[in-house]
Amino acid sequence: MLKNIGKYIFMVKLGFRYIKIFKKTYFHPFISQKPAYKRLSLERQAYSNAVLEFLNIEVNLIGEFPKEEKILYAINHRSLLDIIVMEHLFFQHGKSGTWIAKEELFTAFYGDFFKYSGCMSVDLENKKGLLSFFKKIKTALSKVDDLNIYIFPEGERHKGEGILPFQSGAAKIAKANNLDVVPVFINDTLESIFKAAPYKEKKIVHIHVGDIVDAASLEDEYKKFMRKAKEEIV
C-alpha cells in the first residue's frame, strides 16, 4: 500500500512543480509557436524521464522512428504510463509534438498539466468544438514545420485484450493535414508493470514502432502491426 501511495505522491508533486514550469513557456510574451512547442515538449519529457527513473523502468524500442517530422503517431492506450514512456522515447530520438486529449482531462484535478504543457483538447460531443479543434491543428501545423501529433485512436484507456474500435479522429486529422501515420504498440502488461513499480531491479518494457500505414485503413493496418508485434514479444 505504502509503495503505491509513494509513487502517486511523487508523480503528483512533481507534476505540480512542472505545471509552474509549463506556465513560464505557455505565457511567455515573446516566444512564437515553434520554439514554444519545442520547449514544452522538452519539459514534458523531463518530467517523464524523472518518473521513469523513480520507478526504475527502462524503455526498449523495437523498430525505428522515422527521420521525418510532422508524423501522426497512433498509439494504443492501456496505462497511466503510456504517455510517460512515449515522451521518454521521443526525448531519446529528438522528437517534439502535441498530444490530443479529451476535453474532460483539461478540467479534472490534474487538468492544468494538460492545459499548459502543449496538449490540445477536443470535445467529441460538440460540433462547433470539433470545427475549432481542426482549425487549431491546421494552424499549428502551418506554423510549426516539425510538429508531430500524438494520439490514442481508441479514445480511452482499454483494460481488456486487443484494442477498442478506433474513433475516426486520428484518420481525419491525418487526411486533413496530409500527415503520414506511424503505429505504436505498447506492451499489454504495462498497466500491471506500473502497479508493481517502483522496482529494486531495473524493469524493462518494450515499445514497438511500425512503418508508415495508410490512414484510410488505420484500424486494420494497426491490427496487423499489433499481431506482428505480439509475435515478436513471444
DSSP β-bridge partners for residue 205: 59
**Number of folded domains that form the chain:** 1
d(CA 125, CA 128): 9
* CATH number of domain containing 66: 3.40.1130
Residue 127 domain boundaries: 2-233
Q: Side chain identity at 186, as an amino acid letter?
A: I
Take residue 66 and report the three cell numbers written for it: 522515422
- What is the pLDDT tens value at each position of the chain, 234 positions in all? 556 789 999 999 999 999 999 999 999 999 999 999 999 999 999 999 999 999 999 999 999 999 999 999 999 998 989 999 999 999 999 999 999 998 888 988 889 999 999 999 988 677 777 888 999 999 999 999 999 999 999 988 887 788 999 998 999 999 999 999 999 999 867 888 999 999 999 999 999 999 999 999 999 999 999 999 988 765
**Dist. CA 191–CA 166, nearest whole Å:** 20
pLDDT confidence of residue 55: 97
pLDDT in the model for residue 2: 57
Plot region of 123 (φ>0 → left; ψ -120 to 50 → alpha; else → beta):
beta
Q: What is the pLDDT of residue 234?
A: 55
